[in-house]
Structure 1
Amino acid sequence: MSMSVLSTKKLSASQKELLGHAQIPVVDYDAITITFKDFTIDQQCPNLIFTSQNTVNAYLGQRALSPHSQNALPKAFCVGEKTKALLEENGLEVVEMTHYGKELAQILVEKYKSESFLLLCGNKRRHEIPNALAQHHIAFKEVQLYNNTPNPVAFKDNFKAVLFFSPSGVQSYTAANAIKESIAICIGTTTAEEAQKHSKHIVIAAKPTLESVLEKAIETLTAKRIN
């Protein structure tokens, strides 16, 4: 088995260079297809919860069609550093950011019980946030902005590692492939939980970001090469 890796998300040229500098060949594809849905946003809701960068991009497209007045921009609560950065780049104030939905749900319950929210998500969103809000009688409405559709592709090559960025990405990959002896390098714990159904060779990135997954891949495979 070569030291090549498979990324289940398309990488930018600079991201591929990180692996290239470490002499790690990479094949990349999108295990998930994202398609935006038709939706409407309640312009009066003061607080929006963004579960991913996809929700931000979908929201921004809709906002361009029916923008909030600049005096009444909603406040944002989000999951992920990249999600936060994208929101701030587009003029939204991010009140709270966590790496995982479970952590954000806990903060909302502890600090914002009297607020009302719009939960912006995809069709395969996790349950931690809506369940916590409902259990603690916090007012919210859910709006699905996009569909998350598996894109299973069969690969003949044996990869030293497969990079996973979501539980649905694991499900899509394993619908057409077995992980076998490949190392599953996962963006976070929820993705790792899904990968553990298919492999015992699991490594979790230090932070739930794409770059951290690449760093963990380089660290793991360089150690394997030395040993």
Structure 2
Amino acid sequence: MDNKAHILSTATLPQPLIDKMKAAGIAVEVLPFIKTTWVNDEKKRKQVAGITDKTIVFSSKNAVEAVAEMTKNMLHGNIYCVGKQTAELAHKYFGDQIQAVANDATGLAEIMLQEKNIKSVTFFCGDIRRDELPELLKKHKIALTEIVVYTTIVTPHKAEREYDAILFFSPSAVESFFLVNKVNSTTILFAIGNTTANAISNKTDNTIMVCEQPGKELLIDDMIRYYSTINKTIS
């Protein structure tokens, strides 16, 4: 009898994380529900090269990767990031310029508002981005320049089986998944952060487990601990 937990990841995962789940007795299927593409044409490169703001915001690793490619890692300013992994990647490419990190966009905006010297901000983002940070900054009269450096395309798939748990890493993946799928009432839904959890709660009343700090590995560690606690993965 197969008593392993069967998990669906709605985003690609590094092989070490897949191996980590397998070692914990968890069967995982990886089926990406979104695709991201960098915007890296001449017009966009000139726009990025011409920024004059000293304050820069990244809300995702995708934005960091796209800007690093366009600038050849030559970006200078006071950098603010949503998520620990976003900050770690920004530090890798742009050095010791990270000023603050928060778990979500609202938290980051609140940190920035406490710093009275910030008058203007450049926000590197995707074409589908949350409104919280831009609205809070604009509400407090901080000039905001948004530069879209990647696009997100939904790639919905019909799930072929029921899962014990599903891992969600973005609101866009939530939207893509529920376009063509429903979930069993007993399926546990793991969310990488509060905005993703809110997107899930708009689709279903299932139990949602929210990662305290955004990060793929942190979410998977939470999920492994959850199943270790209920002894579901013992075979």
TM over 0.5: yes
CA displacement, residues 168-211 of structure 1 (integer Å, 9 cap, x when unaligned): 11111111211223110111121111112223221112322111
Change (3 A) 1:112 1:146: farther
Cα offset, 1:133, TM superposition: 1.2
The residue aligned with 1:200 is 206
Corresponding residue for residue 188 of structure 2: 183
**Alignment gaps of 5+ in structure 2:** none
1:166 corresponds to: 170
Task: Please give the alpha-carbon distance, in whole angstroms, between the structure 1 residues aligned to 2:134 and 2:94.
Answer: 26
Partner of 1:9: 11
**Residue in 1 that maps onto 2:153:** 149
Find the counterpart in structure 2 of residue 216 from structure 1: 222
What is the deviation of 1:166?
Answer: 1.2
Distance 2:116 2:90 in 1: 20
Instruction: Give CA-to-partner distance per residue, 1:36-91, whole Å, 9 cap, x none.
Output: 124221342222111110010110111029x55xxxx2221111111111111123
2:117, 2:139 → 1: CA distance? 11
State the identity as a percent.
26
The superposition leaves residues 4-39 of structure 1 with CA deviations (integer Å, 9 ceiling, x where unpaired) of 100011111110111111110100122110011242
For 2:118 and 2:212, how far apart are their aligned partners in 1? 34
Task: Give me the CA root mean square deviation.
Answer: 1.9
Question: What are the superposed Cα offsets for residues 103-150 of structure 1, whole Å, 9 maximum, x if unpaired?
Answer: 011111121454321111111111111101111111221111111111
| Residue type at the aligned position of 1:195 | I
Structure 1 unaligned blocks of 5 or more: none
- Residue type of the alignment partner of 1:215: D
Q: Secondary structure at the match of 1:137?
A: coil
Query: Who is 2:52 aligned against?
Result: 44
Distance 2:126 2:139 in 1: 21
- Asked whether 1:85 is paired with 2:88, we answer yes
Match of 1:22 among 6, 24, 35: 24
1:35 matched residue in structure 2: 37
Give the match's secondary structure for 1:4: strand
Aligned: 1:61 with 2:69: yes
Residue 141 to residue 226, structure 1, CA distance change in 2 (3 Å): closer
Aligned residues: 222
